[in-house]
């Protein structure tokens, strides 16, 4: 993360069409460095292609719950049946080297310029807790040793700020990091947005200006849907891409 502008992506979920659109948009914005908050696979039909695309970036990546369960042959009893079906399908599709790469990912990571990465929460990252509201974010701030942490998991972009003893939630927008405050930032989802906006979501972090910009990128949803149907995956997964839910 040596450049001024770093793209932060996550919840790609094997959606190659969305990922390629985001990579193109980020490069057009002058991005030279990359970070990934996990869930490269799951839900969509291009797990190997997306793993290989992220691996080619040579960037820090943390493990998401779908990355974990697709990489390991563990029980899916706690998964929604549709999600479990896709995990089982993904396990059968992944090249051994890509499955091994998923297993190698850490749950959290501190990278350059005082940034932490985690998929879910910092207090218990391996338990995959969801952060929707300020009260959900509060425990992670206790474990956040850096000013800024990027995360994902909910597929809903948001900014959580801790100022003194108060944690607040803000909708995605341009953010200027203020000294004395901490930030826990959900970058949204590249491959399966759930905030009623079907466009892919990611962030650009400028470490010199100390700013974060959220980006939304249109992509070929119909092509992603065709891949899902061609793979024989549940129709619900194709339909939800249309509405961003």
pLDDT digits (tens, 9 = 90+) for 114-152: 899 999 999 999 999 999 999 999 999 999 999 999 999
For 24-52, what is the mean pLDDT?
97
Q: How many CA atoms lie within 13 A of 227 on its CB side?
A: 19
Q: How close are the terminal C-alpha atoms of the chain, in Å?
A: 32
pLDDT in tens, 53-75: 999 999 999 999 999 999 999 99
Q: How far apart are CA 169 and CA 158, in angstroms?
A: 7
- Residue 28 pLDDT level (bands cut at 50, 70, 90): very high
User: Mean pLDDT over residues 203-211, rounded?
Assistant: 95
Residue 100 neighbours by CB distance under 10 Å: 11
DSSP 167-184: EEEE-SS-EE--TTEEEE
**Domains of the chain, CATH where assigned:** 5-243 (3.60.21.10)
Judge contact between 121 and 142, C-beta under 8 A.
Answer: no
Q: pLDDT-derived band of residue 177, with 50, 70 and 90 as boundaries?
A: very high
Please give the pLDDT value at position 3.
Answer: 52
Q: What is the mean pLDDT of residues 26-44?
A: 97
Average pLDDT on 8-26 reads 98
Mean pLDDT estimate for the chain: 96
Among residues 28, 57, 54, the alpha carbon closest in space to that of 41 is found at 54
pTM over 0.85: yes
Mean pLDDT of the region 78-107: 95
Report whether pLDDT(1) > 60. no
């Amino acid at each position: 993360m040596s450049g001024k502008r770093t793209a932060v992506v996550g919840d790609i979920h094997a959606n190659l069409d969305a990922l390629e659109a985001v990579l193109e948009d980020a490069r057009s914005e002058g991005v030279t460095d990359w970070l990934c908050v996990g869930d490269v696979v799951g839900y969509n039909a291009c797990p190997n292609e997306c793993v290989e695309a992220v691996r080619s970036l040579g960037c820090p990546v943390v493990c998401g719950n779908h990355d974990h369960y697709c990489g390991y042959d563990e029980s899916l009893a706690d998964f929604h049946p549709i999600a479990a079906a896709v995990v089982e399908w993904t396990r059968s599709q992944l090249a051994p080297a890509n499955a091994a790469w998923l297993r190698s990912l850490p749950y959290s990571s501190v990278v350059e310029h005082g940034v932490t990465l985690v998929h879910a929460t910092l207090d218990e990252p391996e338990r995959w807790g969801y952060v929707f509201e300020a009260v959900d974010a509060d425990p992670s701030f206790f474990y956040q040793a850096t000013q800024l942490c990027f995360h994902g998991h909910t597929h809903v972009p948001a900014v959580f700020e801790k100022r003194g003893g108060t944690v607040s939630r803000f909708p995605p927008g341009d953010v200027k990091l203020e000294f004395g405050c901490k930030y826990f930032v959900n970058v949204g989802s590249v491959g399966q947005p759930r905030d009623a906006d079907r466009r892919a979501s990611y962030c650009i972090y400028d470490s010199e200006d100390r700013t974060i910009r959220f980006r939304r990128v249109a992509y070929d949803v119909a092509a992603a849907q065709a891949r899902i149907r061609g793979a024989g995956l549940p129709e619900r997964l194709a339909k939800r891409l249309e509405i961003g839910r």
